């Protein structure tokens, strides 16, 4: 599966748009992010798009639980079993790195350039490039003010 930057932006924006410092899995669902699969034979399977992107967010330290842990899905309240998945209302927060990436993806110019010119790049390169592009955009804005 490839990284869908629009999906990632929507996922991270749930945290940014929330009035709370931490959210839960049900908050993601309330904002329209499908958590459980509608295609699975079992009613307790995760949506593959959600699973892929939340794992990327975990691996890259974009999200953590309230104890600042981000080492596995269980730290976010997601437990994988042989016959399905268990969801717990574990408080989840966006890390500073997550906020930085969300801010970059929220900029239409940055998101457009990432999608067109870096769509097949490794995540680390996408993240680093997003920060450099956002810095460039903000620098241009600052120069126009001076």
CA gap 103, 27 in Å, rounded? 20
pTM: predicted TM-score of the whole model, two decimal places: 0.88
Residue 133 in tokens: 């592009």
pLDDT tens, 83-129? 778 888 999 999 999 999 999 999 999 999 999 999 899 999 999 99
Tokens 């001076």 belong to 146
pLDDT of residue 144: 83
CA gap 13, 99 in Å, rounded? 9
State the average pLDDT over residues 2-13.
Answer: 96
Confidence of residue 42 (pLDDT cuts 50, 70, 90): low
Q: E strands of the chain, at which residues?
A: 63-65, 78-81, 84-87, 92-94
pLDDT of residue 43: 55
Confidence of residue 13 (pLDDT cuts 50, 70, 90): very high
CA gap 12, 28 in Å, rounded? 10
- Ranges of each domain in the chain: 5-94, 97-145
């Amino acid at each position: 599966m490839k990284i869908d930057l629009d999906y990632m932006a929507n996922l991270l924006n749930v945290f940014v748009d929330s009035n709370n410092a931490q959210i839960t899995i049900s908050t993601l669902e309330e904002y329209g992010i499908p958590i459980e699969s509608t295609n699975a034979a079992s009613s307790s399977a995760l949506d593959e798009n959600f699973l892929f992107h939340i794992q990327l967010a975990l691996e890259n330290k974009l999200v953590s639980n309230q104890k600042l842990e981000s080492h596995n899905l269980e730290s976010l309240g997601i437990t994988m079993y042989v016959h399905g998945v268990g969801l717990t209302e574990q408080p989840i927060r966006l890390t500073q790195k997550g906020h930085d990436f969300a801010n970059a993806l929220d900029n239409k110019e940055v998101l457009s350039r990432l999608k067109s010119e870096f769509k097949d790049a490794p995540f680390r390169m996408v993240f680093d490039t997003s920060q450099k592009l956002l810095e460039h955009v903000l620098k241009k804005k600052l120069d126009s003010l001076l």
